[in-house]
């Protein structure tokens, strides 16, 4: 049976499947409860993306990580709620920064209302996440604070761009390690930690989550170019239009600047570096990228990080949860396939 439909992840162990499904159902209830306000408008705005659905990738990782200890420990579900609330809050802010119109197949909060409402709703979600986090103890607060610092630092580095002497691809990988990898690493860490797993398991799942998070973001980079709106839940080429240099774009630029550059390399790079606010030019850029070897190069990078994540699992005992975590690596890659 499939645990998370967008990933096609199947869990054949009935006990694990029951635990994960029950945990995710409890997380969903916790998200709705945490996003309620005495002000109906705030509830509507805060639950806008909760009710739109989503992959619940981070809560799933918490539930799987908890299988290496006591999956019914009282801190497991609340920690998953914290991680997902934090993620949702960043989406509200990201959509304002990117001027995105769609998110998860519905109008973004900034499109539905305005930028001020979207930013303040994201702040509200951060506040609710902190409220839940406080009950999990000072160590959990410290871990979440460090991850949030990395997340914001990654966003700032993306905005600032690479230093003159820095390779743009290396800079970008640093950015997504902070923006995406840090919070997914916390999901694995919280799952193990809250369940009472030993320190080695906590460390393994933290490192696994970091690498899986990078692969997850690289798969999103590919999807932004290769998918249609129905598949990705947001308008294709959003990152391109906003001038965000994702990995396929960086690979095109590197090829175009190299000694073996082809005419197609240079033409595609020139198109990507032009004004893509026009729908027709954006469509041309998407078509050029879809036909360019840089897209396949980005897919191979996704596979590499997913493979590294899978290799991190080696010290863990061979059980159904480990198999499911390995399956997540495969599922992330298949999204970019």
Q: What is the CATH number of the domain that holds 297?
A: 1.10.600.10
Regions of the chain short of the pLDDT cut 70: 1-11, 93-114, 228-234, 337
Predicted pLDDT of residue 120: 87
What stretch of H or E contains 10?
A: strand 9-10
Give the single-character DSSP code of 74. Answer: T
Predicted pLDDT of residue 92: 78
Q: How far apart are CA 151 and CA 268, in angstroms?
A: 31
Q: Is 293 within a domain?
A: yes
Q: Is 88 within a domain?
A: yes
Token pair listed for 127:
């506040």
Predicted pLDDT of residue 107: 61
What stretch of H or E contains 94?
A: helix 76-98
Closest of 252, 218, 203, 192 to residue 64, by C-alpha: 192
Indicate the burial class of 264 (C-beta count within 10 angstroms; 0-12, 13-18, 19 or more).
middle
Question: Helices 279-291 and 293-312 sit at what angle, rounded to 10 degrees?
Answer: 70
Half-sphere exposure of 304 (CA within 13 A, CB side): 8
Predicted pLDDT of residue 3: 44
Predicted pLDDT of residue 243: 81
Question: Helices 293-312 and 199-226 sit at what angle, rounded to 10 degrees?
Answer: 170
Contact 202, 315 (CB under 8 A): no
Q: Is 5 within a domain?
A: no
Q: Is 8 within a domain?
A: no
Predicted pLDDT of residue 4: 45
Q: Is 269 within a domain?
A: yes
Q: Is 265 within a domain?
A: yes
> How many structural domains does the chain have?
1
Q: Is 2 within a domain?
A: no
Q: Is 87 within a domain?
A: yes
Give Cα 109 to chain centroid, integer Å. Answer: 18
Contact 20, 60 (CB under 8 A): yes
225 is in which domain, residue-wise? Answer: 14-335
Residues contacting 106, CB < 8 A, separation 6+? 48, 49, 52, 112
Which pLDDT tens digit goes with each residue over 261-293? 999 999 999 999 988 888 899 999 999 999 999
């Amino acid at each position: 049976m499939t645990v998370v439909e967008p990933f096609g992840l199947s869990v054949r162990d009935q006990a694990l499947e029951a635990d994960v499904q029950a945990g995710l159902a409890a997380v969903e209830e916790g998200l709705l409860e945490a996003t309620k306000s005495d002000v109906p408008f705030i509830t509507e705005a805060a639950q806008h993306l909760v009710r739109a659905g989503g992959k619940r990738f981070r809560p799933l990782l918490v539930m799987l990580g908890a299988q290496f200890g006591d999956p019914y420990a009282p801190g497991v579900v609340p920690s998953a709620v914290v991680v997902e609330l934090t993620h949702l809050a960043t989406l509200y802010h990201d959509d304002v920064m990117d001027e995105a119109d769609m998110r998860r197949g519905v109008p973004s909060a900034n499109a539905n209302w305005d930028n001020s409402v979207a930013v303040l709703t994201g702040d509200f979600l951060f506040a609710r996440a902190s409220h839940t986090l406080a009950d999990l103890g000072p160590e959990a607060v410290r871990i979440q604070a460090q991850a949030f610092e990395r997340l914001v630092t990654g966003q700032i580095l993306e905005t600032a761009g690479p230093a003159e002497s820095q390779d743009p691809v290396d800079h970008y990988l640093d950015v997504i390690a902070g923006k995406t990898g840090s919070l997914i690493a916390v999901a694995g860490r919280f799952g193990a930690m809250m369940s009472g797993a030993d320190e080695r398991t906590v460390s393994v799942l933290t490192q696994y989550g970091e690498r899986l998070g990078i692969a997850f973001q690289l798969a999103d980079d590919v999807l932004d170019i290769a998918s249609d709106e129905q598949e990705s839940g947001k308008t294709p080429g959003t990152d391109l239009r906003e001038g965000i240099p994702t990995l396929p774009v960086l690979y095109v630029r590197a090829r175009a600047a190299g000694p073996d550059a082809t005419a197609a390399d240079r033409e595609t790079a020139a198109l990507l570096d032009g004004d893509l606010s026009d729908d027709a030019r954006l469509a041309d850029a998407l078509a050029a990228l879809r036909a360019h070897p840089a897209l396949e190069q980005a897919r191979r990078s996704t596979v590499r990080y997913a493979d590294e994540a899978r290799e991190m699992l080696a010290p863990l005992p061979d059980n159904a949860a480990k198999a499911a975590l390995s399956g997540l690596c495969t599922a992330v890659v298949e999204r970019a396939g």
